[in-house]
Chains A and B, each alone.
Chain A
């Protein structure tokens, strides 16, 4: 049985259209024009125990709405959500006991308290017993090195420290599921690395299922074994990053430079795009032929001085997926 099951989820908002200018404002006072906005449009997916899933999409695609519904903050218009067999709306308290949530933009730590005091508070809220609390705290400390600032008031922490504190706070009650909403936003290189290491470690040690929304390509490449891409409220892609690359950008480009001008042949498995004097460009499908094979074949015809391989950029691939393009242009 999957840990998280989402079936035909829909979320609609009613927005009141406001007229422009004074005339429009007066008009909308008398007669409110309502408009239904569908933020999430028939989404279904299921997530197994221990997966790390990147839930990505452009701004306004419906990511946070979905996460809010999964965590019981919002009720869906229609459709079904089950987390470990329970509905987060009907069984809110039981579901959230098994949930850790971190919002990159806002902290759950108490501004006026020391970090450790915030942890103590959470220990009581979630009714964590002493042994489990000590164990978890020790584990979090080993990964995140929080002992260095555990006695500092939260308002004095740097963003990176606060974020580490927030992650530890979310995992204190050993939830099976962890939602991370843009966890690396605004962090420096070291900060990002610490967060990623943490996600990998808790996934390895505690088999925590992680769902993260992010705009950071590093997060996607390093963490996510699976990507669910959502655009305009619908899922446009669900699979691993490498599958996505294979499908959307199956080609690689080989730039060849020769010692002296010579006509390069047409290879049966690669397309010659152009040749200007000593420089030539080939495009090939990486599943049909390897770069090494291609170079070997070509070097039978002429003496190569230099070559360079070009891959599609991850950024472009993801952007293509956002726009529901089947293939990436150019490369």
Chain B
């Protein structure tokens, strides 16, 4: 058991080292992605800065509060891009025959999926995420206590898993459709819309969907409203913060099961 954990930890680190080597061969590429991602965050930031400031508030949320919400959301976005971007391409990897290669190695297939081409480019998402989060914290004068620090960490952990679960679940559909359909656009779009702004601006039914069916409300909206004492539409108490890691683990487990079911399906049918 201990030996297995050591093996996978060592392999994970080694894969990260390899992708570091790979990216060092194209430093311009890294710079271009950094510029691209900074620009992308600028689009989101300009929206809240210019529009929300012009109107004074968005559904009762001030500009500063939305900046905090946005920063919190962007951090887990960056982590999920670093850890789970591979699962966007399950269809492509399968059709290229790479999946056969994974199956030929004495190693867990999901582990290979996640670490094979470790995405350091995701770090270029992290930098603007950190900047916006720090800015948002300063704007709302977030009080850093032991409790709030732990809570933020738990929220980031859970939120990253919720995002990863969505990537993995939609990616796993390829096992059944045997096609290379790309859900990343739709996923990123939906998550942007549900994590950057207060969910309460949507009709009741949409709030319900993003709470109970696709629990994206737990990524940033419920935690942020609890931290800031804002109305979350469901009168959830402030310990709803701690639901984020629970929901994250639950949906991530579900999507792992889906992935495994897909892999078994692949086993019996091939590509």
CB distance from B207 to the nearest CB of A (A): 36
Separation of A106 and B97 alpha carbons in the complex (Å): 8
Interface SS of chain B: helix, strand, loop or mixed? helix
Q: Determine if A231 is an interface residue (Cβ-Cβ < 8 Å).
A: no
Partner of B106 from the list A71, A77, A97 (CB cut-off 8 Å) is A97
Which of B101, B104, B267 is the most central at the interface, judged by chain A CB atoms within 10 Å of its CB? B104
The interface stretch among B14-22, B155-163, B189-197 is B14-22
Contact string against B for A residues 58-100, beta-carbon threshold 8 Å, 1 for contact and 0 otherwise:
0000000100100111110100000000000100111011010
- What residues of B have a CB within 8 angstroms of the CB of A97 in the complex? 106
Q: Is the CB of A121 within 8 A of B14?
A: yes
- What residues of B have a CB within 8 angstroms of the CB of A34 in the complex? none
> Known interface pairs A75-B267, A75-B268. Does A96 touch B106 (Cβ–Cβ under 8 Å)?
yes
Q: Is the CB of A112 within 8 A of B105?
A: no
Q: Determine if A113 is an interface residue (Cβ-Cβ < 8 Å).
A: yes
Q: Determine if B231 is an interface residue (Cβ-Cβ < 8 Å).
A: no
CB distance from A88 to the nearest CB of B (A): 10
Chain A residues numbered 84-131 whose CB sits less than 8 Å from any CB in chain B? 89, 92-94, 96-97, 99, 101, 103, 106, 108, 110, 112-113, 117, 121, 124-127
Partner of B22 from the list A72, A108, A113 (CB cut-off 8 Å) is A113
Q: Determine if A13 is an interface residue (Cβ-Cβ < 8 Å).
A: yes
Q: Determine if B182 is an interface residue (Cβ-Cβ < 8 Å).
A: no
CB distance from B268 to the nearest CB of A (A): 5
Q: Is the CB of B11 within 8 A of A125?
A: yes
Q: Is the CB of A124 within 8 A of B103?
A: no
Q: Is the CB of A13 within 8 A of B269?
A: yes
Partner of B100 from the list A73, A94, A126 (CB cut-off 8 Å) is A73
Partner of B105 from the list A89, A94, A125 (CB cut-off 8 Å) is A125
Separation of A106 and B98 alpha carbons in the complex (Å): 9
CB distance from A180 to the nearest CB of B (A): 13
Q: Is the CB of A93 within 8 A of B270?
A: no
Q: Is the CB of A72 within 8 A of B25?
A: no
Contact string against B for A residues 301-318, beta-carbon threshold 8 Å, 1 for contact and 0 otherwise:
000000000000000000
> Known interface pairs A106-B97, A112-B22, A112-B25. Does A74 touch B268 (Cβ–Cβ under 8 Å)?
yes
- What residues of A have a CB within 8 angstroms of the CB of B101 in the complex? 106, 108
- What residues of A have a CB within 8 angstroms of the CB of B264 in the complex? 75
> Known interface pairs A110-B18, A117-B21. Does A125 touch B267 (Cβ–Cβ under 8 Å)?
no
Chain B residues numbered 228-261 whose CB sits less than 8 Å from any CB in chain A? none
Q: Determine if B7 is an interface residue (Cβ-Cβ < 8 Å).
A: yes
- What residues of B have a CB within 8 angstroms of the CB of A112 in the complex? 22, 25
Nearest chain B residue, comparing its CB with the CB of A101 = B104
Separation of A112 and B25 alpha carbons in the complex (Å): 9
Separation of A68 and B268 alpha carbons in the complex (Å): 11
Nearest chain A residue, comparing its CB with the CB of B108 = A93
Known pairs A65-B270, A73-B100. 12 more at Cβ < 8 A?
Answer: A13-B270, A68-B270, A71-B103, A73-B104, A74-B270, A75-B267, A99-B104, A112-B25, A121-B14, A124-B11, A124-B14, A125-B11
A–B complex contacts, Cβ < 8 Å, 21 sampled: A68-B270, A71-B103, A71-B104, A73-B100, A74-B268, A74-B270, A75-B267, A89-B267, A93-B106, A93-B107, A96-B106, A97-B106, A101-B104, A103-B97, A103-B100, A108-B104, A112-B22, A117-B18, A124-B10, A124-B14, A125-B105
Which residues does B use to contact A, with CB under 8 Å?
A: 7, 10-11, 14, 18, 21-22, 25, 96-97, 100-101, 103-107, 264, 267-270
Closest 5 CB pairs of A and B: A112-B22, A97-B106, A93-B106, A75-B267, A73-B103
